[in-house]
């Protein structure tokens, strides 16, 4: 299980072709699946599979609670590369 701890690591992982991620919830009992790719303008395109919404976020926006909960998940070590 590879944890993603920050947006620099996320950018590197996505650029190497890994696009499937999970945000672990309830101590890992359930999860939220995400597909993340890089847009030509450098933003991250996040597809949230739980509700099929799409977000286009800068690295900083991951850490803004109103934009995304992924930044908090990275800090807590519960954002992982999907096996």
Tell me how far CA of residue 78 lies from CA of 7, 40, 67, 70, 71, in angstroms.
14, 27, 18, 9, 10
Q: Is it the case that residue 17 has pLDDT exceeding 90?
A: yes
pTM: 0.93
Question: What pLDDT, in 10s, does the model give residues 20-30?
Answer: 999 999 988 99
Percent of the chain whose pLDDT exceeds 90: 92
């Amino acid at each position: 299980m590879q944890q993603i701890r920050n947006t620099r690591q996320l950018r590197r992982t996505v650029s190497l072709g890994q696009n499937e991620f999970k945000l672990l919830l309830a101590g890992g009992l359930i999860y939220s699946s995400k597909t993340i790719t890089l847009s030509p303008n450098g933003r991250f395109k996040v597809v949230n599979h739980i509700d099929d919404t799409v977000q286009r976020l800068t690295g900083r926006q991951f850490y803004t609670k109103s934009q995304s909960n992924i930044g908090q998940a990275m800090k807590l070590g519960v954002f992982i590369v999907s096996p």
